[in-house]
Structure 1
């Protein structure tokens, strides 16, 4: 039997209004994006800018040291820290490096955009979990999900506020089988298995059985970097005070509708992920 889920509509979101923090940038929280490699620094840029567009107050980027200078110029709003690299350009952590201090100070950590090595990512995941407390929200994306699939009990019983953002390939690794056609049910299976909120292609589920689905997404969102934008958007909403399920629903809707807003200019499949960024604030503000 297909699982039941509630359609995410503007009316639903208006009744589930996002927090609007008052005061300085600290009131809107600090997002730390950990990711990238020598060859994929753009993923960190997209996720970081999306977090700011969604309302985060402070942005910090931790990426491959060979890309740090360029990122600091491209995203002047962010503190950028270079992380050690392997000979192949993959990012690796070090318990004694600056990353540990940044993790301890962050309100939200997004791990995964642009990472490209499963072994180094597993090390980073453990570093994130050891350096952050239960009050820190986590967004796990891309290779971080692959790392989690190797240790499926890592989050169980932790009580952490975690959102997983798998695509179908990543869902297959997390499930250890091919996903079926009922993505509501698959999202719920993942949420219960990993004790985290799951956002699977607009199908959102919580470990306690609540489910939603976003029906506005179109083919144009299936473009390089789009997932990085979604992960950063989610992190920014968490940073401003949204609860994980609320942030996941708002992020799914804002991601999809921002794509719709680009269709008149670029067609259904002609826009780029970076063009979604400028649409996010208006989309969120006009729900």
Structure 2
């Protein structure tokens, strides 16, 4: 495997001048407290760490979020060589990073080598030590029955997007949920009733072929009777009446929910209601959907994925799953986890529907919103890595994830 290499040069006088002008405020932007103590006022050491952290960022491929400088700590090891420690919630978590730092006149020069960035970080065979903070599998008591593991209600699908309803509901089923109940527009009901034989499928009123609207509210509320969790949005369409249905549903339903895809797009037209809704809601946007929700350009979202996800999780009082390479899971209370596993095998339509179903199914099994999101994202990405190993990076289908998810869960128990 070809290592990735980054090189950077920092001018020592410029670093010294910035520190003189701004004091510790400048140092705290790129150094940890331990690094500041170690450097002891040495501009050479400050510049060396600046260059090393820039070199690490340059070693990362385009499109993969770089960690903030303070998330990377470089201190001498017992043998005197630089030792790199990376914070838990970054794309470099679990990676071996080699750094060398040298000084020549007025310059600090650093080289960073990341030998295994293209493979997942080591989990530790048969161990749980490599699992992210917040990861938790629901208990599976031997005497459990389908009622033990919760009922999930899915409101999804429309004309041309029956696959979204199928993949979401089956993602919930593969999570281990006891019962999955799928509600779809009347005209697409026959398709899904035949396709989803392990799911309870029910037709609800439609305002046009394959489109549910506000007239279905009473039927949808009845469908949520006895539910432990729900998933709303995948492939449901963007009709104005559909938006009114979702807004009123969210005000009346009290169970934990996952909002995905079109539910997010519709809420972006009335984003002021988000903070007023229950905190037991997980939002699962990709960068463009997040941008619409937050009224930001997609490029601004991608520039600071971790910071923006955390800020809006607090502002909206919701758990946010910002999807993409280096998926960020942020909670309103400040907890944050970044999934370091990425594979192009998952870059295909429908994989996000499976993820929404998986998270909703875990919530139905009594996992809190943040833990369900962290666990679902991690299981989803590991299943993708397994499929890449067995099938390759291209040609994997979203439905291929479904049988792989239980295998990953069993491996991690």
The answer, yes or no, to whether TM exceeds 0.5 is yes
Q: C-alpha distance in 2, partners of 1:115/1:53?
A: 21
Q: Does 1:251 align with 2:333?
A: no
Deviation at 1:231, TM superposition (A): 0.3
Higher alpha-carbon Rg: 2
Gaps of 5+ in 1: none
**For the structure 1 residues 140 and 159, does the alpha-carbon distance in structure 2 shift closer, same or farther, using more than 3 Å as the test?**
closer
**For the structure 1 residues 198 and 274, does the alpha-carbon distance in structure 2 shift closer, same or farther, using more than 3 Å as the test?**
same
Specify which of 381, 384, 389 is matched with residue 264 of structure 1: 389
Structure number with the bigger relative contact order (C-alpha 8 A, sep ≥ 6) is 1
Moved over 6 A (4+): none
**CA RMSD of superposed structures (Å):** 2.1
Structure 1 residues 75-94: aligned runs within 5 Å: 75-87=196-208, 89-94=210-215
Does the 8 A contact of 2:233 with 2:259 survive in 1? yes
Q: Which residue of 2 aligns with 1:162?
A: 281
What CA deviation, in whole Å up to 9, does each residue of 1:93-135 have, x standing for no partner? 42564222112322111001111214233122123224312xx
Q: Which residue of 1 aligns with 2:238?
A: 117
Does the 8 A contact of 2:135 with 2:375 survive in 1? no
Q: Which residue of 2 aligns with 1:153?
A: 272
Does the 8 A contact of 2:152 with 2:360 survive in 1? yes
Q: Does 1:74 align with 2:195?
A: yes
Gaps of 5+ in 2: 1-28, 30-67, 72-86, 94-122
Q: Which residue of 1 aligns with 2:311?
A: 189
What CA deviation, in whole Å up to 9, does each residue of 1:68-87 have, x standing for no partner? 12212211222211123333
SS for the counterpart of 2:273 is: coil
Does the 8 A contact of 1:167 with 1:200 survive in 2? yes
Q: C-alpha distance in 1, partners of 2:196/2:302?
A: 40
Q: Which residue of 2 aligns with 1:102?
A: 223
Q: C-alpha distance in 2, partners of 1:103/1:94?
A: 16
Q: Which residue of 1 aligns with 2:88?
A: 6
Specify which of 224, 242, 264 is matched with residue 349 of structure 2: 224
